[in-house]
Amino acid sequence: MAPQLEYTKRELHGHRKAVQALAWAHTGRKLASAGADECVRTWNVELSAGAKAERCDLALMSQGGAVVAVEWHPKREDQLASLTDKYLRLWDTRAASKPAVAVSVGYTSHMAWHPEGNIIAVTNYKANEVAFVDVRKGAVLGQYVPRDQYLNALRFLRDGSTLLVGCSSGDVEAVRVRPDFKGAEAGGTLQGHIQETTALALDPSNKHLATCGYDALVTIWDLESATAVATVPSIEYAVWDVAISCDGSRLAYAQEKGPVGVVSVPSGRVEGTVSAAASHCVAWNPKHAHILAFGCDDAGVWNNEGRHTEAGGPVGLAFFGSSGGGGGGGGGGGTRGR
């Protein structure tokens, strides 16, 4: 049985269907959520655990399909990108009646913003390639096509020269990107899963990488030595998302059925769980290591046959061991989540 975590929970209501992606702006003040209801919502989050639940600050409707990914510009909190099955859209939240840029990039599933903020890498699962999109021009500059792999999750290392790519085989490829983004070439490979790798997460120093997959595994890697240092035990269901806190001390994972898990980094020691019937996504606040956002599917997400549906649920906010304001991880305080 997992240990009990002490936390205070708050919920953000607005999506009519499941929340599929979350992202914080780099300032830690704004949160974006994206759902199967074809909507992206932004929230100005009050960082005090005892604050009243926030109302949606902005709703970006008519996305043309379920939104599978959302990310803020790495240096600005007035620009964010959303991804549907066929389109990458860039939004200026100051005048958001329509997207500032919309690029057709085929059948898409994942994206990653380059640290400089001018390029977004997008996976095309039908063409089986990564496209590098210049968001200033609204144009694809080049592609990376792998050998014998289907591509999923993406993350740039902080210097921007290497793109980590999660693959259908369970491997993670380190791809060296050309400076002009007109192509890339394969580098090393991490072999840590026996089924599809679904998500990647880096700590701010890029010392540790976390990976997860359909094989119900979460693996923590030391990137300098390219070795696995821990595997999180006793996960029962496929893991859809993983995130590492801004101080690098904690990891959270979202699984197909059951609560959000929280473990220590790099040991993989289980700290406890956060209440949810299921969750598609997790995201730690980039400035306050005690605040976690997560998709919080309610019990209705499972039908009578035990199959996952698109039933809605709120965005959950968990505050660990602090009433807000400062950084830092765990510790006592707060109230027990129920």
CA distance 68 to 192: 25
What pLDDT score does 307 carry? 55
**Domain 7-320, architecture per CATH:** 7 Propeller (2.130)
CA distance 152 to 176: 17
With 90 as the cut, is the pLDDT of residue 302 above it?
A: no
CA distance 62 to 271: 40
What pLDDT score does 299 carry? 60
Q: What is the pLDDT of residues 177-206, one digit of tens each?
A: 999 999 999 999 999 899 999 999 999 999
Residue 1, C-beta contacts closer than 8 angstroms, at least 6 positions apart: none
What pLDDT score does 2 carry? 62
DSSP 307: -
What pLDDT score does 147 carry? 76
Q: What is the pLDDT of residues 269-280, one digit of tens each?
A: 999 999 988 899
Residue 331 or 34, more confident: 34
With 50 as the cut, is the pLDDT of residue 15 above it?
A: yes
Q: Which residue has the tokens 């958001």?
A: 96
CA distances from residue 231 to 49, 208, 246, 296, 324 in whole angstroms, order as listed: 31, 13, 20, 24, 31
Cα 174-133-196 angle, rounded to 5 deg: 40
What pLDDT score does 108 carry? 87
CA distances from residue 38 to 18, 66, 246 in whole angstroms, order as listed: 10, 4, 29
Instruction: Band the pLDDT of 80: cuts 50, 70, 90.
Output: very high
CA distance 293 to 312: 16
Once rounded to an integer, what is the mean pLDDT over residues 313-325?
75
Domain ranges of the chain: 7-320
Torsion of CA 39, 42, 47, 48, to 10 degrees: -60
| DSSP strand pairing (87-92 vs 315-320) | unpaired
What pLDDT score does 235 carry? 93
Given CA atoms 109, 253, 281, 47 in this order, what sign does their dihedral have? Answer: negative
Residue 147 or 239, more confident: 239
What pLDDT score does 337 carry? 42
